[in-house]
Amino acid sequence: MSLFRTELRRLGKRRFTRWTTAAGLLVLLLIVAGLFVSNQKIGPEQRAEARRAADGHYRDQVRWVEQERADCERAKAAGEQVDYYPVDCAEITPPAREAIEDQWFLPSTFDFRDGADGMMIPLAGILALIGFVVGASFVGAEWSTGGMMNLLLWRPRRLTVLLTKLAAVLTGLLALAVPATALWFGSLWLIATFRGSTERVTSGVWQSLLLTGVRGMVLALVAATLGFALASLGRRTATALGGVIAVMVVGQIGIGILLDAAQVRFAEAWLLPTYAYTWMAKSIKLEDWRSCSASYTGECNPTTLELTWQHSSALFTAAIVLCLGAALWAMRRRDIA
Q: In whole angstroms, give the CA distance from residue 309 to residue 164.
A: 29
Q: Are 293 and 317 in contact (CB under 8 A)?
A: no
Mean pLDDT, rounded, for 78-107: 83
Mean pLDDT, rounded, for 147-173: 80
Which backbone phi and psi does 153 adopt, to 5 degrees? -70, -30
Mean pLDDT, rounded, for 94-116: 88
pLDDT grade, residue 239 (50/70/90)? low
Q: How high is the pLDDT of residue 158? A: 77
Q: Check the CA dihedral 146-150-156-157 and report its sign.
A: negative
Q: How high is the pLDDT of residue 226? A: 92
Is residue 267's pLDDT more than 70?
Answer: yes
Helix (H, G, I), strand (E, B) or coil at 19: helix
Q: Are 138 and 161 in contact (CB under 8 A)?
A: no
Q: In whole angstroms, give the CA distance from residue 213 to residue 274.
A: 18
Q: How high is the pLDDT of residue 91? A: 83
Q: How high is the pLDDT of residue 293? A: 56
Q: How high is the pLDDT of residue 222? A: 95
Q: How high is the pLDDT of residue 70? A: 87
Q: Range with the lowest mean pLDDT among 59-68, 103-112, 155-164, 176-185?
A: 155-164
Closest by CA to 97, choosing from 64, 66, 51, is 51
Q: How high is the pLDDT of residue 292? A: 66
pLDDT > 90: percent of the chain: 38
Q: In whole angstroms, give the CA distance from residue 250 to residue 252.
A: 6
Mean pLDDT, rounded, for 278-304: 74
Map 191-235 to HEC letters.
HHHHHEECCCCCHHHHHHHHHHHHHHHHHHHHHHHHHHHHHHHHC
Q: In Å, how far from its chain's centre is CA 35?
A: 16
Q: How high is the pLDDT of residue 25? A: 94
Q: In Å, how far from its chain's centre is CA 314?
A: 19
Task: Calculate the average pLDDT of the chain.
Answer: 84
Helix (H) or strand (E) holding 114: helix 112-115
Is residue 289's pLDDT more than 80?
Answer: no
Q: Which residues pair with 305 in a beta bridge?
A: 286
Judging by beta carbons within 10 Å of its beta carbon (0-12, 13-18, 19+), is residue 139 exposed, middle or buried? buried
pTM over 0.85: no
Q: How high is the pLDDT of residue 247? A: 60
pLDDT grade, residue 193 (50/70/90)? very high
Mean pLDDT, rounded, for 65-76: 86
Digit-coded pLDDT (tens) for 7-27: 889 888 888 889 999 999 999
CA angle 322, 327, 333 (to 5 degrees): 120
Q: How high is the pLDDT of residue 245? A: 66
Closest by CA to 196, choosing from 255, 113, 279, is 113
Q: How high is the pLDDT of residue 296? A: 54
Helix (H) or strand (E) holding 305: strand 300-308
Mean pLDDT, rounded, for 31-38: 93
pLDDT grade, residue 184 (50/70/90)? very high
Which backbone phi and psi does 292 adopt, to 5 degrees? -140, 160
pLDDT grade, residue 52 (50/70/90)? very high
Q: How high is the pLDDT of residue 152? A: 63
